[in-house]
Every structure is written in C-alpha cells, then in structure tokens.
A and B are shown apart, each in its own frame.
Chain A
Amino acid sequence: PEVVEGPGFMPECFAPWSADTKYFQWEAKEPPYKIALVNGFVGNIWRIQMIQTAKAFAEQDEIAPLIEEFKIVSTGTDAAAQLGAIEDFINQGYDAIITIAVSPTGFDRVIRLADRNNVVLVPFDNVLDTDKVMMVNEDQRAMGEMSANWLIEHVGNSGKILEVRGVPGNSVDRDRHEAFREIMEADGNDFEIIEVVGNWAPGDSQKVTADAISVHGQFDGIYTQGGTNGSVQALMDAGHPFVPVAGEAENGYRKQIAKHSDEGLKGLSFGQSPGLVAISMKAAIEALQGNKLPQLISVPVPVVDYTSIKDGENFWSELPDDFFTPNEFPPCGVNITAPEIMAKTKDDVK
C-alpha cells in the first residue's frame, strides 16, 4: 500500500491509534472480493464467538454483495501453519486476509508477499510488532492502566493486591501487566502485589486465586486478566469478603457483579471483543475500495463497572458464562449483539 496523509475514511469507526499513526491506501478494486479469515487456535469460546460474528457479518445485507467468497480456516497454535495458510490464500488470489496472529513476530515474509500481490492483510486482536501492515485492536496497555487507576480509586493508595496474569510469553499479557504495574508502582502508591499465573482460563484463575488466598490471607483488591469469573468463584469459595475486582468481559463475571455488587463485589469489566473481527473485515473491504485507513486502528475498549451493568444490554443472564459480552460497535455499523449470533446459527444448523 501507499503511505498517505490523513485524515482517513470514517474516522468515527476507524480511529487512528495515535496522532502520529500513518495512513495506508490501496489501489481500488472492483467488488465483489474474495476474503479469508485465518484463525489460529479454535478450542475456546472467544474464538468460536469470533468466527460466528465473522460469518454473521459477512451475511449482512450491506456486506454480502461485496463478498464473492468468504473462507475461514483455523490453523491451531502452529505459526508455520498459519503463515502457510495466509500465503496459500495469497497464492489463490484472495483480495484480503484477516488474521489473529499466533505470534507477534515472523510475518515479514507474508507481508512482503501480500504487498507484492496487492493483498490487504489485516491482523487483529493479537497484533504484530510491526508498522508495515494495517491492524485493528483495542489498546491492551489502556486496559492495564484503566484497571490500575480504577483499583486505586476503590482501594486507596495502599493495600495488598492480587494480580492474576495471562499466558506467559504472550504480548497481550506483557502489555497489560506492564501498564498495570507502572501505575500501581508509581510514586505515592504503596501496594504489596502478589502475582500468579492464570493463563486467562477460568479454571486456572480459580485455582491460583484460591491458592493465593489460602497462603497470603486477605487481599484488598484483585486484577485478573482473564478467566475473571474463576477468580471471583475462588473468592466466594474461600469465604473471602468481596473486594474490588478489575477483570475481563466474560458474561459470567458480569453476572457475578450484578448479583453481588451490593455485597461488596465492586467490579470493573473491560473486554477484548470478538466483534473486532467485523471491524477488521469492514476495514479490509473499505481498503479494497480505495479508501484511506489508519495503519493501526484503535477500537475503544468496551468497559462497564458495577454501576453501569445492565441485563440484556451489556450482559445476558440467560447466556452461558464464558460468553464474551461486548460485540457491537455502532459507529462502524457492526450491530450484531451477542444473543443474535448464537440464535442465528442455531437456526442455520437445523
């Protein structure tokens, strides 16, 4: 793509990451397009929800005519297979490829190939450590900072905090953790932070939280990167009094907040949305039509806390716990609510 000056197309949807984010423009192609989504691992609900959202979005009235073929493959946690799949789709003559990168590095080769073949490559969620490709994400550091600030607000400037981290070695874990620590450990604060690894999985989070409680006694606040409902479950099992918790956007966690906020479970729930996939697809389609877009598109972090939580709006008491609540982004025309995706395909399968 060509690097161009801003402002870009539909800025209310495709917001640049920062003021110095550059803009890309591709030669316009005639629709309809062939688009592929190269997912990595599939065995968790976030990914499944993401795939469902992608399928639903591709079938929306305004999008469907623009797409000739939409293909989704999942390659597992194997980087070579993911790179291979992307390259394969480039070779097959696809126009755009959306992907959740298995690794933040190592995409140089497919980026080169995509550029040679004028293919729009859009990593999202787990993005790459490069500025040569258009990407869509929420600000992970912002989530860490937000959690820290919120905890300070509700706990005060000192106390014992439990930090439950995500998958070791992952850049999202690193970003959230570092931003969180920077604020918590800034001058004027005096926190004792106990750190355990919960792998973003509810089971793991629950186990390490329970362990930490039994060894370290009482905490004044908790920050869990993922599997938050597990951490809260551990709190309740241990008979630990409810304390402020900053965590992810699992439906189960929001149910817990709704139920126990008056008992002291003041909760902050921010989330990485599976709906990012729809914005990424939309970005790809706009780019193929020749529109200018920021290199790094920032999607606002959907966040609620115990004061703003509402059944049927930002969580659903009848849906499963692992369901990720935030899914819609009205400024982008992405209006697929969580219950919709599930309901829709249920009919599909029949």
Chain B
Amino acid sequence: MSLRIEPPILIGLVFIALILATGTAYTMVTQGTATFISPPYLLQQLHFGAFLGITAAGMMMVILLGHIDLSVPWTLAASAMVGTAVGGVAGDFTALGVGLAVGLINGIGVAVLRVPSMIFTLGVNTVLLGLMVMLTGGFAPQNAATPLMTFLGSLRTYGVPHSVVVWALVSASLIFVLNRTPLGRYMYAIGNEEAAAYLSGVRTRLVIIAAFMICSLCAAVAGLCLAGYSARAFQAMGDQYLLPSIAAVVLGGTNILGGQGKYSGTVVGVVLIVLLQSMLSVMQMDEAYRQMIYGAVIILMLLIYSRGRAQTA
C-alpha cells in the first residue's frame, strides 16, 4: 500500500538503465546513433515485451500461489492455432475458450487431484503438443490471423502498438484483482499457508483453479496478439516464452515459493529481459556468449537483491 519502491524493483530499474547505457554506447560507437534510447526502438521493445509481459502476468498469478505453469508454451500456441483454424470472431472466442479450458484442467489437476503443478502442467503441455500435431496433421487448418488478432498484435494507433495497450489493460485488471478483491487476498494467503487459508473458510480449490485459469487466459491473449503480430499461428510459437516469463516474475521480486510479490516488479522484470535479449542480439554476440551473459545477469541481480535483503533483515 505504501509508495516505497521495493528493492527488487529498484535493482531492476538500475539494471534496465545499465542495459540501455551499454546498448547506446555500442550503437554510438558502431554507427554514431543513440538508437537504444530512441522512442521508436523503445516502443518496439515494448511491443515485443507485451507478449512476454502478458504471459508473465499470468505466470505470476500461479507463482504467487506457490505453483508454476509449464503448459504456457503450448497453451499459447494451441489457443492461437485453434483460434485461427476456426477463424473470424468465433475463432477469437474459441482461442480464449481454449485458454480457459486448459486453465480449468490445470486447476483441477493441481487443486482437486493435488498433483504438484510442476509435473501436472508439464503433462498438460505434452498433451497439448500432441493435440496440435493431430490437428495440423489431420486437417490442414487455416492459420492466418483473424482481423482481431491483427488489430491487437500488429496494428498501432498514434505509434503505440495495440499489444502494449492490451498489456496495460491486463496489468490494470490484475493489479485490481491482487490489491482490491478478496480473490487477490486469498491468492497471497494460499501462497503463504494453504492450510490456514482453508481453515479460514477460504475456498482454496476455487481460488487455485481461478489462478490457473487467469494464467492460461493470459497465455491465450498473448497467443492472440502474437498470432496477429506474426500474421498467423504456428506450432511452437510459445516455446520462447516459458523460461523468460518465469525469470521475469522472479526478477521482479515475486517469491518463487509463493505468497509474496508485487505486480509492478513483474513489469520491470519483463522489460529487463526483453531489453537484455535485444541488446545481446543487436550486439551480434555469439549464441554461446549470449547465453552466458543472460545467465550471469540474472544471477548478479538476484545476488544483489539477496544481499540487500540480508542487510535489512
């Protein structure tokens, strides 16, 4: 409730500044322009960031509960693929429906069957992959983006990509849910101590299912946008979003064990990761060095963060 900036967010912002500075230095030297801090470049990064941002927003909901959703990649892809296959407005709704359905299944597996989310969602991911192989192989489905997808994913108004607006709306809704509604409070409660939440008369199963449905719905929305951006849906389109979305949530200060974290941190984490990836790509670093720098930056940030925590404690 206070306006104090949390340490992880602060550290994240510092790192973002560092990345921008490094990138700018690089482009200044190589081509004499300060591309990295030019508005078009930054907007473009936000545009990419939106896909990751929407996915990570959903991921944060389940991480807050102390769970994780490894089915995000193929939930994203399946929503988009089924959506484009159906086509039109019906397709858009179907895509969201696929997201909700996957979330419901994940939620039931985790909350009712009480299979650890780590493994249940992994299985669901494999099943979704199988379903999409079946779909593509059997029916030569259409995969061109629907008009709504194109509108959301690739069009801009006054230079602002609509995806960024979607991300902002998703963020606003989730901030609302987390801070203002009982559901949000219950999510934190379950993340901290499920038994205590249950004994407080919280319908823990429903809350867990809801969180997983939000997560998958976010993945589906990201799928819609991404399909629009790429003009079509394709297999494996979500593969690039799993580990970065987890990393973004954790870099933003959400406890991977659940119960603690602020949404604004996730946004910072997403921007950080997108800019880092972009910088490494632009600097034409070898894949080997890119991976190593990526890993090292994450560790460095977390180390600084945990140092800070150790001192205040």
Contact = CB atoms under 8 A, between A and B. Distances in A.
Q: Do chains A and B touch in the complex (CB under 8 A)?
A: yes
Interface of A: 42-45, 48, 51-52, 168-169, 194-197, 201-204, 206-208, 210-212, 214-217, 229-230, 233, 237, 252, 319-323, 342-343, 345-346, 348-349
Given A44-B236, A215-B282, A349-B138, A206 B144 contact: no
A173 to B, nearest CB: 10
26 contacts: A42-B129, A43-B132, A168-B287, A169-B287, A195-B284, A196-B281, A202-B230, A202-B232, A203-B237, A206-B229, A208-B281, A211-B281, A216-B31, A216-B282, A233-B230, A233-B231, A237-B154, A252-B231, A252-B232, A320-B140, A320-B143, A321-B144, A323-B140, A346-B139, A346-B140, A349-B139
Q: Lowest 6 A-B CB distances belong to which pairs?
A: A342-B140, A168-B287, A349-B138, A320-B143, A48-B137, A215-B282
Interface stretch (B5-13, B40-48, B54-62): B40-48
Contacts of A346: 138-140
Given A44-B235, A230-B230, A211 B278 contact: yes
> Which has the most chain B C-beta neighbours within 10 Å: A43, A202, A216?
A43
B287 A197 contact: yes
Interface in B226-246: 226, 229-232, 234-237, 240
Contacts of A252: 231-232
B76 to A, nearest CB: 11
Interface string B15-42: 0000000000001000100011000110
B281 A42 contact: no
Contact of B48 (A169, A202, A207): A207
Contacts of B172: none
Contacts of B281: 196-197, 208, 211-212
Contacts, number: 98
Given A44-B234, A233-B230, A321-B143, 20 more contacts: A42-B129, A42-B133, A43-B129, A43-B132, A43-B236, A45-B136, A45-B234, A203-B240, A207-B48, A211-B281, A215-B36, A217-B31, A252-B232, A320-B140, A320-B141, A320-B144, A321-B234, A322-B232, A322-B234, A349-B139
Contacts of B35: 214-215
B232 A321 contact: yes
B235 A45 contact: yes
A204 B144 contact: no
A57 to B, nearest CB: 15
Nearest to B74: A43
Given A195-B284, A208-B281, A320 B138 contact: no
B260 interface: no
Contacts of A319: 140
A343 B139 contact: no
Q: Say whether chain A's binding surface is mostly helix, strand, loop, or mixed.
A: helix
B192 interface: no
B142 interface: yes
Contacts of B44: 210-211, 214
A342 B143 CA distance: 14
Nearest to A321: B232
A9 to B, nearest CB: 32
A320 B142 contact: yes
A346 B138 CA distance: 5
Contact of B140 (A42, A44, A208, A343): A343
Contacts of B133: 42-43, 48
A145 B295 CA distance: 36
Nearest to B77: A43
Contacts of B138: 345-346, 348-349
Contacts of A51: 137
B41 A214 contact: yes
B285 to A, nearest CB: 10
A70 to B, nearest CB: 16
A42 B40 CA distance: 38
Nearest to A207: B48
A48 B134 CA distance: 9
B135 to A, nearest CB: 10
A338 B244 CA distance: 36
Contact of A43 (B27, B40, B235, B282): B235
Nearest to A41: B236
A59 to B, nearest CB: 15
Contacts of A230: 230
Contacts of B284: 194-196
A57 B68 CA distance: 43
Nearest to B234: A322
Contacts of A204: 240
A230 B144 CA distance: 13
Contacts of B142: 320
A206 B40 contact: no
Contacts of A343: 140
Q: Which of A48, A169, A204, A206 has the most CB of B within 10 A?
A: A48
A250 B44 CA distance: 26
Given A201-B236, A203-B226, A349-B138, A322 B27 contact: no
A289 to B, nearest CB: 30
Interface in B143-191: 143-144, 154
B134 to A, nearest CB: 9
A169 B291 CA distance: 13
A319 B41 CA distance: 34
Contacts of B137: 48, 51-52, 345
